[in-house]
Amino acid sequence: MSKYYLFAPGPTMIPSETLLEMAKPILHHRTKVFEAIFRETEERLKWIFQTKNDVLMLASSGTGAMEGAVVNFLKKGDKVITIEGGKFGQRWGDICKAFGVNAIRHMIEWGKVCKPADIEKLLQDNPDVRAVFWQASETSTGAAHPTKEIAAIVAARPGCISVVDGITAVGAFHVPMDEWKIDILISGSQKALMLPPGLGFAAVSDKAWAFAETSDLPKYYFNFKKERKNLAANTTAYTPAVSLIMGLNYNLKNMQEEGLEKVYARHNRMARACRAAAPAMNLKLLAEVPADSVTAYLLPENVDGGKVTKGMTARGFTIAGGQDHLKGRIFRIGHMGYYDDFDILQVLSAVELTLKDVGHHLELGQGVKAAAEVLGAKA
Protein backbone atom coordinates (compact mmCIF):
# COMPACT_ATOMS: atom_id res chain seq x y z
CA MET A 1 0.00 0.00 0.00
CA SER A 2 1.29 3.44 -0.87
CA LYS A 3 -0.63 6.70 -0.51
CA TYR A 4 -0.09 9.66 -2.79
CA TYR A 5 0.20 13.16 -1.28
CA LEU A 6 0.13 16.13 -3.64
CA PHE A 7 1.58 19.36 -2.22
CA ALA A 8 2.81 21.01 -5.42
CA PRO A 9 1.93 24.60 -6.32
CA GLY A 10 -0.33 23.11 -9.01
CA PRO A 11 -1.89 20.83 -10.03
CA THR A 12 -3.25 20.64 -6.50
CA MET A 13 -5.43 18.08 -4.72
CA ILE A 14 -8.98 17.64 -6.01
CA PRO A 15 -11.82 16.67 -3.66
CA SER A 16 -13.18 13.17 -4.43
CA GLU A 17 -16.66 14.66 -4.67
CA THR A 18 -15.44 16.98 -7.43
CA LEU A 19 -13.83 14.11 -9.32
CA LEU A 20 -17.16 12.26 -9.18
CA GLU A 21 -19.05 15.38 -10.26
CA MET A 22 -16.85 15.51 -13.36
CA ALA A 23 -17.38 11.77 -13.87
CA LYS A 24 -21.09 12.30 -14.51
CA PRO A 25 -22.22 11.60 -18.09
CA ILE A 26 -20.96 14.38 -20.35
CA LEU A 27 -23.39 17.04 -21.51
CA HIS A 28 -23.35 18.64 -24.92
CA HIS A 29 -22.36 22.29 -24.61
CA ARG A 30 -25.16 23.61 -26.81
CA THR A 31 -27.99 22.43 -24.59
CA LYS A 32 -30.21 24.40 -22.24
CA VAL A 33 -29.02 22.27 -19.32
CA PHE A 34 -25.36 23.07 -19.89
CA GLU A 35 -26.02 26.71 -20.77
CA ALA A 36 -27.69 27.16 -17.38
CA ILE A 37 -24.68 25.59 -15.62
CA PHE A 38 -22.35 27.77 -17.68
CA ARG A 39 -24.22 30.94 -16.65
CA GLU A 40 -24.25 29.88 -12.99
CA THR A 41 -20.51 29.19 -13.16
CA GLU A 42 -19.86 32.59 -14.74
CA GLU A 43 -21.72 34.31 -11.89
CA ARG A 44 -19.74 32.35 -9.31
CA LEU A 45 -16.49 33.24 -11.11
CA LYS A 46 -17.38 36.93 -10.78
CA TRP A 47 -17.75 36.31 -7.08
CA ILE A 48 -14.31 34.75 -6.67
CA PHE A 49 -12.70 37.38 -8.94
CA GLN A 50 -14.54 40.01 -6.87
CA THR A 51 -15.68 41.79 -9.99
CA LYS A 52 -18.68 42.90 -12.02
CA ASN A 53 -16.65 42.34 -15.19
CA ASP A 54 -17.08 39.38 -17.49
CA VAL A 55 -14.76 36.47 -16.68
CA LEU A 56 -13.85 34.60 -19.86
CA MET A 57 -13.42 30.82 -19.70
CA LEU A 58 -10.81 29.41 -22.05
CA ALA A 59 -10.00 25.79 -22.90
CA SER A 60 -6.27 26.15 -22.18
CA SER A 61 -3.82 26.25 -19.33
CA GLY A 62 -3.24 29.57 -17.56
CA THR A 63 -0.48 30.43 -20.03
CA GLY A 64 -3.09 30.60 -22.79
CA ALA A 65 -4.99 33.20 -20.77
CA MET A 66 -1.70 35.12 -20.33
CA GLU A 67 -1.15 35.12 -24.10
CA GLY A 68 -4.71 36.36 -24.58
CA ALA A 69 -4.06 39.20 -22.14
CA VAL A 70 -1.25 40.40 -24.40
CA VAL A 71 -2.58 39.86 -27.92
CA ASN A 72 -6.09 41.25 -27.36
CA PHE A 73 -5.21 44.64 -25.92
CA LEU A 74 -2.00 45.86 -27.53
CA LYS A 75 -0.65 47.00 -30.86
CA LYS A 76 2.56 45.91 -32.48
CA GLY A 77 5.45 47.94 -31.08
CA ASP A 78 3.50 49.12 -28.02
CA LYS A 79 5.68 49.86 -25.02
CA VAL A 80 4.84 47.98 -21.80
CA ILE A 81 6.47 47.11 -18.46
CA THR A 82 6.85 43.50 -17.37
CA ILE A 83 7.75 42.99 -13.71
CA GLU A 84 9.98 39.93 -13.72
CA GLY A 85 10.79 38.46 -10.34
CA GLY A 86 10.67 34.78 -11.30
CA LYS A 87 9.82 32.20 -13.93
CA PHE A 88 6.31 33.51 -14.50
CA GLY A 89 7.30 37.16 -14.61
CA GLN A 90 9.73 36.15 -17.35
CA ARG A 91 6.83 34.55 -19.17
CA TRP A 92 5.12 37.95 -19.50
CA GLY A 93 8.26 39.33 -21.10
CA ASP A 94 8.64 36.31 -23.36
CA ILE A 95 5.03 36.50 -24.59
CA CYS A 96 5.42 40.21 -25.34
CA LYS A 97 8.61 39.50 -27.26
CA ALA A 98 6.95 36.73 -29.27
CA PHE A 99 4.23 39.12 -30.45
CA GLY A 100 6.36 42.18 -31.17
CA VAL A 101 5.42 44.13 -28.04
CA ASN A 102 8.25 46.29 -26.74
CA ALA A 103 8.64 45.32 -23.06
CA ILE A 104 10.73 47.18 -20.51
CA ARG A 105 11.71 44.07 -18.57
CA HIS A 106 11.90 45.25 -14.95
CA MET A 107 14.10 42.62 -13.32
CA ILE A 108 13.71 41.80 -9.64
CA GLU A 109 15.94 39.43 -7.73
CA TRP A 110 14.03 36.15 -7.45
CA GLY A 111 12.32 36.08 -4.07
CA LYS A 112 12.17 39.86 -3.74
CA VAL A 113 9.07 41.88 -4.57
CA CYS A 114 8.59 44.89 -6.80
CA LYS A 115 8.76 48.35 -5.20
CA PRO A 116 5.75 50.42 -6.27
CA ALA A 117 7.94 53.56 -6.38
CA ASP A 118 10.07 51.93 -9.07
CA ILE A 119 7.01 51.46 -11.26
CA GLU A 120 5.89 55.04 -10.59
CA LYS A 121 9.35 56.22 -11.71
CA LEU A 122 9.40 53.97 -14.77
CA LEU A 123 6.00 55.26 -15.82
CA GLN A 124 7.10 58.88 -15.35
CA ASP A 125 10.16 58.22 -17.50
CA ASN A 126 8.08 56.32 -20.05
CA PRO A 127 4.70 58.04 -20.26
CA ASP A 128 3.89 56.04 -23.40
CA VAL A 129 3.77 52.70 -21.55
CA ARG A 130 0.38 51.13 -22.35
CA ALA A 131 0.34 48.24 -19.87
CA VAL A 132 2.07 46.90 -16.78
CA PHE A 133 2.21 43.11 -16.29
CA TRP A 134 2.97 41.27 -13.07
CA GLN A 135 2.14 38.32 -10.79
CA ALA A 136 -0.06 38.67 -7.70
CA SER A 137 1.83 35.58 -6.57
CA GLU A 138 5.05 34.55 -8.32
CA THR A 139 4.70 30.77 -8.13
CA SER A 140 8.39 30.10 -8.73
CA THR A 141 9.48 32.02 -5.61
CA GLY A 142 6.38 32.19 -3.43
CA ALA A 143 6.61 36.00 -3.39
CA ALA A 144 3.59 38.33 -3.48
CA HIS A 145 4.16 41.61 -5.30
CA PRO A 146 2.26 44.60 -3.84
CA THR A 147 -0.63 44.28 -6.27
CA LYS A 148 -2.91 46.83 -4.61
CA GLU A 149 -0.26 49.56 -4.72
CA ILE A 150 0.96 48.92 -8.27
CA ALA A 151 -2.61 48.66 -9.58
CA ALA A 152 -3.40 52.05 -8.00
CA ILE A 153 -0.41 53.64 -9.77
CA VAL A 154 -1.54 52.24 -13.11
CA ALA A 155 -5.20 53.12 -12.50
CA ALA A 156 -4.25 56.81 -12.22
CA ARG A 157 -3.09 56.77 -15.86
CA PRO A 158 -5.83 56.75 -18.49
CA GLY A 159 -3.48 55.42 -21.17
CA CYS A 160 -2.21 52.41 -19.24
CA ILE A 161 -3.78 49.15 -18.06
CA SER A 162 -2.76 46.73 -15.30
CA VAL A 163 -2.53 43.03 -16.14
CA VAL A 164 -2.24 40.71 -13.17
CA ASP A 165 -1.44 37.01 -13.26
CA GLY A 166 -3.53 35.65 -10.40
CA ILE A 167 -3.01 31.99 -11.31
CA THR A 168 -1.82 31.12 -7.79
CA ALA A 169 -3.73 33.97 -6.14
CA VAL A 170 -7.42 33.96 -7.08
CA GLY A 171 -9.16 31.73 -4.56
CA ALA A 172 -6.11 31.64 -2.28
CA PHE A 173 -5.92 35.24 -1.10
CA HIS A 174 -7.58 38.60 -1.46
CA VAL A 175 -7.16 40.19 -4.93
CA PRO A 176 -10.36 42.21 -5.27
CA MET A 177 -10.33 43.13 -8.95
CA ASP A 178 -12.86 45.97 -8.90
CA GLU A 179 -11.86 47.50 -5.58
CA TRP A 180 -8.19 47.60 -6.60
CA LYS A 181 -9.03 48.69 -10.16
CA ILE A 182 -7.16 45.86 -11.83
CA ASP A 183 -7.83 45.87 -15.58
CA ILE A 184 -7.12 42.27 -16.48
CA LEU A 185 -6.97 39.44 -13.95
CA ILE A 186 -5.92 35.98 -15.09
CA SER A 187 -6.26 32.60 -13.42
CA GLY A 188 -6.25 28.87 -14.06
CA SER A 189 -8.17 25.81 -12.92
CA GLN A 190 -5.49 23.63 -11.31
CA LYS A 191 -4.57 25.82 -8.33
CA ALA A 192 -6.88 27.21 -5.63
CA LEU A 193 -9.92 26.23 -7.69
CA MET A 194 -9.14 22.53 -7.07
CA LEU A 195 -9.57 21.21 -10.61
CA PRO A 196 -7.47 19.38 -13.19
CA PRO A 197 -5.48 21.62 -15.56
CA GLY A 198 -7.23 22.73 -18.73
CA LEU A 199 -9.20 25.89 -17.96
CA GLY A 200 -7.83 29.42 -18.12
CA PHE A 201 -9.70 32.54 -16.99
CA ALA A 202 -9.45 36.21 -17.87
CA ALA A 203 -11.54 38.95 -16.28
CA VAL A 204 -11.45 42.20 -18.25
CA SER A 205 -12.35 45.77 -17.19
CA ASP A 206 -14.12 48.34 -19.37
CA LYS A 207 -10.87 50.29 -19.58
CA ALA A 208 -9.15 47.24 -21.02
CA TRP A 209 -12.02 46.48 -23.44
CA ALA A 210 -11.49 49.98 -24.89
CA PHE A 211 -7.84 49.01 -25.54
CA ALA A 212 -9.12 45.93 -27.36
CA GLU A 213 -10.76 48.17 -29.94
CA THR A 214 -7.40 49.33 -31.29
CA SER A 215 -5.43 46.11 -30.81
CA ASP A 216 -3.85 44.84 -34.03
CA LEU A 217 -1.91 41.83 -32.79
CA PRO A 218 -2.87 38.56 -34.53
CA LYS A 219 -5.16 36.17 -32.64
CA TYR A 220 -7.67 33.50 -33.41
CA TYR A 221 -8.04 30.88 -30.66
CA PHE A 222 -7.58 33.46 -27.91
CA ASN A 223 -9.90 36.10 -29.36
CA PHE A 224 -11.35 37.79 -26.30
CA LYS A 225 -13.87 40.00 -28.13
CA LYS A 226 -15.30 36.88 -29.77
CA GLU A 227 -15.36 35.11 -26.40
CA ARG A 228 -17.13 38.07 -24.79
CA LYS A 229 -19.84 37.99 -27.47
CA ASN A 230 -20.30 34.24 -26.98
CA LEU A 231 -20.31 34.58 -23.20
CA ALA A 232 -23.36 36.84 -23.49
CA ALA A 233 -25.09 33.87 -25.16
CA ASN A 234 -23.90 31.48 -22.41
CA THR A 235 -21.39 29.73 -24.59
CA THR A 236 -17.79 29.95 -25.83
CA ALA A 237 -16.30 30.64 -29.26
CA TYR A 238 -14.90 27.11 -29.51
CA THR A 239 -15.91 23.89 -27.74
CA PRO A 240 -15.59 24.54 -23.99
CA ALA A 241 -13.96 22.13 -21.54
CA VAL A 242 -17.39 20.88 -20.45
CA SER A 243 -16.35 18.49 -17.68
CA LEU A 244 -13.97 20.99 -16.07
CA ILE A 245 -16.69 23.64 -16.07
CA MET A 246 -19.02 21.16 -14.31
CA GLY A 247 -16.36 20.63 -11.66
CA LEU A 248 -15.68 24.37 -11.42
CA ASN A 249 -19.32 25.14 -10.75
CA TYR A 250 -19.37 22.48 -8.05
CA ASN A 251 -16.20 23.76 -6.36
CA LEU A 252 -17.20 27.41 -6.50
CA LYS A 253 -20.57 26.54 -4.99
CA ASN A 254 -18.78 24.89 -2.06
CA MET A 255 -16.41 27.85 -1.71
CA GLN A 256 -19.39 30.19 -1.62
CA GLU A 257 -20.89 28.10 1.15
CA GLU A 258 -17.64 28.32 3.11
CA GLY A 259 -17.51 32.07 2.44
CA LEU A 260 -14.71 34.11 0.88
CA GLU A 261 -13.37 35.48 4.16
CA LYS A 262 -13.18 32.00 5.65
CA VAL A 263 -11.51 30.55 2.55
CA TYR A 264 -8.87 33.27 2.67
CA ALA A 265 -8.44 33.01 6.46
CA ARG A 266 -7.82 29.28 6.04
CA HIS A 267 -5.18 29.87 3.39
CA ASN A 268 -3.54 32.58 5.48
CA ARG A 269 -3.48 30.36 8.57
CA MET A 270 -1.89 27.46 6.67
CA ALA A 271 0.65 29.82 5.08
CA ARG A 272 1.61 31.32 8.45
CA ALA A 273 2.04 27.82 9.85
CA CYS A 274 4.36 26.87 6.98
CA ARG A 275 6.35 30.04 7.53
CA ALA A 276 6.61 29.51 11.29
CA ALA A 277 8.04 26.05 10.62
CA ALA A 278 10.97 27.47 8.63
CA PRO A 279 13.19 28.73 11.48
CA ALA A 280 12.14 25.77 13.60
CA MET A 281 13.55 23.52 10.86
CA ASN A 282 16.67 25.65 10.58
CA LEU A 283 15.62 27.01 7.19
CA LYS A 284 14.93 30.45 5.74
CA LEU A 285 12.04 31.57 3.57
CA LEU A 286 12.96 32.64 0.07
CA ALA A 287 10.24 35.24 -0.35
CA GLU A 288 10.67 38.75 0.98
CA VAL A 289 6.87 39.01 1.16
CA PRO A 290 5.45 35.50 1.03
CA ALA A 291 2.17 34.69 -0.70
CA ASP A 292 -0.51 32.66 1.09
CA SER A 293 -0.61 30.08 -1.72
CA VAL A 294 2.87 28.58 -1.82
CA THR A 295 5.83 28.59 0.59
CA ALA A 296 9.39 28.44 -0.73
CA TYR A 297 12.10 27.29 1.70
CA LEU A 298 15.71 28.29 1.10
CA LEU A 299 18.18 25.48 1.83
CA PRO A 300 21.64 25.93 3.30
CA GLU A 301 24.48 25.63 0.76
CA ASN A 302 25.39 22.12 1.93
CA VAL A 303 21.95 20.61 1.29
CA ASP A 304 21.03 19.47 -2.21
CA GLY A 305 17.40 20.40 -2.97
CA GLY A 306 17.20 17.64 -5.54
CA LYS A 307 17.63 15.12 -2.75
CA VAL A 308 14.84 16.78 -0.76
CA THR A 309 12.22 16.52 -3.52
CA LYS A 310 13.44 12.99 -4.29
CA GLY A 311 13.22 11.98 -0.65
CA MET A 312 9.72 13.40 -0.45
CA THR A 313 8.74 11.45 -3.58
CA ALA A 314 10.00 8.26 -1.92
CA ARG A 315 7.65 9.01 0.99
CA GLY A 316 4.72 9.49 -1.41
CA PHE A 317 4.76 13.29 -1.39
CA THR A 318 5.01 15.45 -4.52
CA ILE A 319 6.36 18.91 -3.69
CA ALA A 320 8.23 21.25 -6.03
CA GLY A 321 11.89 22.12 -6.29
CA GLY A 322 13.37 25.34 -7.62
CA GLN A 323 13.52 26.43 -11.25
CA ASP A 324 16.47 27.75 -13.28
CA HIS A 325 19.18 29.18 -10.98
CA LEU A 326 17.14 28.21 -7.90
CA LYS A 327 17.22 24.54 -8.89
CA GLY A 328 18.56 22.57 -5.96
CA ARG A 329 18.51 25.67 -3.74
CA ILE A 330 14.86 25.73 -2.64
CA PHE A 331 11.85 23.53 -2.24
CA ARG A 332 8.26 24.68 -2.45
CA ILE A 333 5.07 23.49 -0.76
CA GLY A 334 1.75 24.40 -2.32
CA HIS A 335 -1.16 24.90 0.09
CA MET A 336 -3.92 26.33 -2.01
CA GLY A 337 -7.32 24.81 -2.53
CA TYR A 338 -8.26 21.53 -0.92
CA TYR A 339 -5.91 21.59 2.09
CA ASP A 340 -6.61 21.94 5.77
CA ASP A 341 -4.58 22.39 8.95
CA PHE A 342 -3.87 18.70 9.32
CA ASP A 343 -2.55 18.40 5.78
CA ILE A 344 0.01 21.04 6.69
CA LEU A 345 1.17 19.12 9.76
CA GLN A 346 1.39 15.99 7.65
CA VAL A 347 3.56 17.47 4.91
CA LEU A 348 5.80 19.24 7.42
CA SER A 349 6.41 15.99 9.29
CA ALA A 350 7.47 14.38 6.01
CA VAL A 351 9.70 17.38 5.26
CA GLU A 352 11.40 17.06 8.64
CA LEU A 353 12.15 13.36 8.17
CA THR A 354 13.41 13.99 4.65
CA LEU A 355 15.64 16.89 5.66
CA LYS A 356 17.18 14.81 8.43
CA ASP A 357 17.77 12.00 5.94
CA VAL A 358 19.67 14.23 3.53
CA GLY A 359 21.96 15.50 6.30
CA HIS A 360 20.33 18.80 7.18
CA HIS A 361 20.77 19.74 10.82
CA LEU A 362 17.40 19.98 12.58
CA GLU A 363 15.54 18.61 15.58
CA LEU A 364 12.63 16.41 14.52
CA GLY A 365 9.22 17.72 15.55
CA GLN A 366 10.18 21.35 15.98
CA GLY A 367 8.77 22.46 12.60
CA VAL A 368 5.53 20.61 13.21
CA LYS A 369 5.32 22.08 16.70
CA ALA A 370 5.81 25.65 15.46
CA ALA A 371 3.17 25.11 12.80
CA ALA A 372 0.72 23.56 15.25
CA GLU A 373 1.08 26.55 17.53
CA VAL A 374 0.04 28.85 14.70
CA LEU A 375 -2.81 26.58 13.64
CA GLY A 376 -4.07 26.14 17.18
CA ALA A 377 -4.03 29.83 18.10
CA LYS A 378 -7.39 31.52 18.58
CA ALA A 379 -8.23 33.78 15.64
d(CA 148, CA 154): 10
d(CA 158, CA 170): 26
- Tell whether residue 102 is a contact of a second copy (CB under 8 A): no
Of the pair 167, 175, the CB lying nearest a second copy is at 167
Q: For residue 362, what are the CA distances in angstroms to 6, 83, 237, 351?
A: 24, 36, 55, 11
Of the pair 177, 312, the CB lying nearest a second copy is at 312
Burial 270-287 (b: 16+ CB within 10 A, else e): bbbbbbbbbebbbbebbb
- Tell whether residue 2 is a contact of a second copy (CB under 8 A): no
Nearest to 297 by CA among 375, 377, 362, 343: 362
- Tell whether residue 244 is a contact of a second copy (CB under 8 A): yes
The 112-151 contact track toward a second copy, x by CB under 8 A, reads ----------------------------------------
Cβ neighbour number for residue 216 with a 10 Å cutoff? 11
CB 62, min distance to a second copy, A: 7
Looking at the DSSP bridge assignments, the partners of residue 131 are 80, 161
- Tell whether residue 231 is a contact of a second copy (CB under 8 A): no
Q: Which amino acid is at 195?
A: L
Of the pair 31, 214, the CB lying nearest a second copy is at 31
Of the pair 92, 180, the CB lying nearest a second copy is at 92
- Tell whether residue 238 is a contact of a second copy (CB under 8 A): yes
CB 234, min distance to a second copy, A: 16
Residues 18-47 touching a second copy, rule: CB under 8 A, are: 19-20, 22-32
The 277-316 contact track toward a second copy, x by CB under 8 A, reads ------------------------------------x---
- Tell whether residue 198 is a contact of a second copy (CB under 8 A): yes
* ∠ CA 286-184-9, rounded to 5°: 35
- Tell whether residue 63 is a contact of a second copy (CB under 8 A): yes
Residues 106 and 122: beta-carbon distance below 8 Å = yes
CB 15, min distance to a second copy, A: 10
d(CA 202, CA 55): 5
Which DSSP string corresponds to 242-311? HHHHHHHHHHHHHHHHH-HHHHHHHHHHHHHHHHHHHHHTT-EES-SSB-SSEEEEEPPTTS-HHHHHHH
CB 369, min distance to a second copy, A: 28
Piece in contact with a second copy (CB under 8 A), picked from 80-88, 96-104, 106-114, 297-305: 96-104
CB 6, min distance to a second copy, A: 6
